[in-house]
Structure 1
Amino acid sequence: MPAKGNQVIPNTHFHKDWQKRVKVWFARPMKAQKRRRTRLLKAAAIAPRPLKKLKPIVRCPGYRHNIRQRLGKGFTFLECKEAGLNYRYARTIGIYVDKKRKNKSVEGLQLNVQRLKEYMSKLVVFPKNGKMKNTKEQNAELKKEKANAVQLRGEIMPIPKVDKNEVEVMEITDDMKNYQAYHALRQARAKKRWHGKRLKKIADAAANDLAKK
């Protein structure tokens, strides 16, 4: 835009320093193909071992999202112990272990213990070197089983999806109609607020009775 009046002549720099300041993304398609080839090579190298490991089921943090379940980082030491597993051995058979996570509820602990037991019931472990210290027939049978094994590439034991469209229907009784929820909540809050003072009042009255006697 030309200058208007007695002002500074615009001196814009349109010659960019391409080597330093300009970054292009022409190699993105080839990079994507390279990553895909790397994933395929890794899958072939670890076959028939699954590509992913087993993760626990945890609840999202906070009051707002606590109703939702998701996959966690790893199982706790207590969950492995309750399932009859050593956590060091669990890491070698495709199970994530998290030393920082703590169990906050019995329901969550039982859910993940049952998840570990179900995984162990379906698990097939092959020798690491592919050989057994037995007969040649057993070694040949082992190689045949390993060759016929199918590699799992998806999520291991995903969280079952719940149909949100299902609605539970029930008959509304007279007790439900007459129940005053707001009054019950106010009474519960009041009892919690005055619980300590009421206990102290009862204790003081008992101490005065003993003193009079």
Structure 2
Amino acid sequence: FLVTSTKLQAAGFGKRYAHTIGISVDYRRTNKSMESLQLNVQRLKEYKSKLILFPLKANKPKKTDSTPQELTLAQQLVGDVMPFKLKSRKDTARKVTKKSKKYSCFDALRRERSNARNWGMRAKKAKEAAEDAAVTGKK
């Protein structure tokens, strides 16, 4: 796992503790949406529930370690603990229309870049034209 510190806090882990159980923490990352944050927190909690943590000192187990009953049931897992499943969306076939044939992605992007570049100048011109029309009494 590679998670942000916000996700760790939401799941109830500390940075040092996360490193000890195989979770990498990237403090530079940010969360883009609440949905992904909640999904990843849920994934972290599920991962934690599947882990069996052995105590470092057998006679002094900590709160975070697994119970003796769980330790007796422990078996070595071969493979991924939690395989990551991507949900793919199926696209349906559709007819090619004249509009879609005529559409040029390059032209659309060029037009949008031009609009972004000239937006301020066009707004200024429109404002000046409105002021001139108000002064002269014309539309």
Q: Please, what TM-score do these two structures have when normalized by structure 1?
A: 0.43
CA distance in 2, matches of 1:187, 1:84: 48
Alignment partner of 1:193 out of 110, 113, 117: 117
The answer to whether structure 1 residue 76 and structure 2 residue 4 are counterparts is yes
Q: Tell me by how many angstroms 1:161 deviates.
A: 6.4
> Do 2:4 and 2:31's aligned partners in 1 also have CA atoms closer than 8 Å?
no
Number of residue equivalences: 127
CA distance in 2, matches of 1:210, 1:203: 11
Aligned to 2:95: 172
Question: Identity percentage over the alignment?
Answer: 39
- Bigger relative contact order, structure 1 or 2 (CA pairs below 8 A, ≥6 apart): 1
- Residue type at the aligned position of 2:74: A
> Do 1:87 and 1:97's aligned partners in 2 also have CA atoms closer than 8 Å?
yes
User: CA 1:152–1:194 in structure 2 vs 1: closer, same or farther (change >3 Å)?
Assistant: same
CA distance in 1, matches of 2:49, 2:70: 18
Q: Give runs of aligned pairs for residues 61-140 of structure 1, distance below 5 A.
A: 75-99=3-27, 101-103=28-30, 105-106=32-33, 109-131=37-59
User: CA 1:187–1:150 in structure 2 vs 1: closer, same or farther (change >3 Å)?
Assistant: same
User: CA 1:210–1:87 in structure 2 vs 1: closer, same or farther (change >3 Å)?
Assistant: farther
User: Which one has the bigger helix percentage?
Assistant: 2
Q: Tell me by how many angstroms 1:77 deviates.
A: 1.1
CA distance in 2, matches of 1:177, 1:145: 65
CA distance in 1, matches of 2:57, 2:15: 22
Flag structure 1 segments of 5+ consecutive residues without an equivalent: 1-54, 57-74, 134-140
Q: Tell me by how many angstroms 1:80 deviates.
A: 0.9
Aligned to 1:148: 73
Q: Please, what TM-score do these two structures have when normalized by structure 2?
A: 0.59
> Do 1:103 and 1:109's aligned partners in 2 also have CA atoms closer than 8 Å?
no
Flag structure 2 segments of 5+ consecutive residues without an equivalent: 62-66
Aligned to 2:64: none
CA distance in 2, matches of 1:194, 1:113: 43
The answer to whether structure 1 residue 181 and structure 2 residue 103 are counterparts is yes
- Residue type at the aligned position of 2:77: L
Q: Tell me by how many angstroms 1:108 deviates.
A: 5.5
Question: RMSD over aligned Cα, in angstroms?
Answer: 3.8
CA distance in 1, matches of 2:31, 2:120: 26
Q: How far does the alpha carbon of each residue in 1:129-177 deviate from its partner, in whole angstroms, 9 at most, with x for none?
A: 23468xxxxxxx81x54243112343442333678xx96333327xx54
Aligned to 1:9: none
From the CA coordinates, give the structure whose radius of gyration is larger: 1
> Do 2:11 and 2:45's aligned partners in 1 also have CA atoms closer than 8 Å?
yes
